[in-house]
Amino acid sequence: MKKYEEIYHPSVLLKESIEGLKIDKAKLGLDCTLGGAGHTVAFLKANPHLKMIALDQDEDVIEIAKKRLEKENLLDRVSIYYANFKDFDLVLKEEKVDKVDFIFFDLGVSHFQLRSDRGFSFWEDMPLDMRMDKNLKKNASDIVNTYKEKDLIKIFKEYGEEKYAPLIAKEIIRYRGKKKIESTLELSKIIEKVYLSKYLKKKNISEKDLEKYKDKYKKIFGKHPSTRVFQALRIEVNKEFDSLKEALNKVSNHLSPGGRLGIITFHSLEDKIVKNTLKGIKDLKLIDIYYPSKEEIEKNIASRSAKLRIYEKI
């Protein structure tokens, strides 16, 4: 398991964010997802007159960001807060600021979180946690061990678009009747079993041969079978969609006229929430949508699903 300091997070759509947010014209910006400070550093370097307010709900990640900013001699141009972005207006109030020239979101988890021992990944065995903010009360293990079957089905469907949601929920209930589900691999094995049984049945292969098909998931299913359920649990644990909607509804009140909003999403559900929430806000106009270049995808495969929406306050 790696410590945060040993992990590198490649920031996505950097050049495009600088252009879309008109960083060269901005005096004060707000980064709602500081992470490893990749975007904040790039913004500050692109415009020597720019000052930033930045927040993140992960206290560990904030320490990494501070070190990076200090190393780059940029720390004195950023005010950093440990906060959920749904409360970004309170952070601005604390700073005695009403409006900023741009607001930026780079949604989802950072590589620091994915590659750490916080339970976001099904590639290594670790406690099934998934809280970005360690002060949250409920973690992923609490959810899989206490939610009713119908609620598990609902979150796997709604937040993961998981086609086998009912079968996986049923298998979870059966398993937890005997033993509490505590680790990432424990849950992942339950999901793999459902996928493989379905596959073997379809291909008319005996369950006895199940072992032979393990570790061939990518070839068989295109994605690891646990991808969607893990995404759904992460969204539920961190109440990601509620926070996003709450934050987006406040953006327009805190952008200067002509100010810009930039949001990077990583999957269609997230993008749909952004699109639909902002559709109802009359004084925010969609200006552009950027996608990663072929070169960026070659260098960082995780960027392939990224999409940057730019809006302007009119």
Which spans of this chain sit near ligand SAM (rule: CB under 6 A)? 9, 11, 33, 35-39, 55-58, 61, 84-85, 106, 108, 110, 132, 243
- CB nearer to ligand SAM: pick between 82 and 199: 82
In the complex, minimum distance from the CB of residue 69 to ligand SAM, in angstroms, rounded to a whole number: 11
Closer residue to ligand SAM in complex, CB, 142/246: 246
> Cβ-count burial of 144 within 10 angstroms (0-12 exposed, 13-18 middle, 19+ buried)?
buried
Least distance to ligand SAM from the beta carbon of 106, Å? 4
CB of residue 242 to ligand SAM, shortest distance in Å: 9
Smallest gap from residue 189 Cβ to ligand SAM (A): 28
Whichever of 57 and 226 has its CB closer to ligand SAM, that residue is 57
Tokens encoding 202: 């379809």
Number of other residues whose CB lies within 10 A of the CB of residue 51: 16
Detail the DSSP E strand segments found in 198-306.
255-265, 284-290
Q: Which is nearer to ligand SAM, 58 or 192 (CB)?
A: 58
Pick the closer one to ligand SAM by CB: 55 or 310: 55
Q: Token pair for residue 34?
A: 């500081």
Query: Cα dihedral sign for 14, 272, 132, 254?
Result: positive
* Minimal distance, residue 170 CB to ligand SAM, in Å: 31
Alpha-carbon gap, residue 109 to 270, rounded angstroms: 13
41 close to 69: Cβ distance less than 8 angstroms: yes
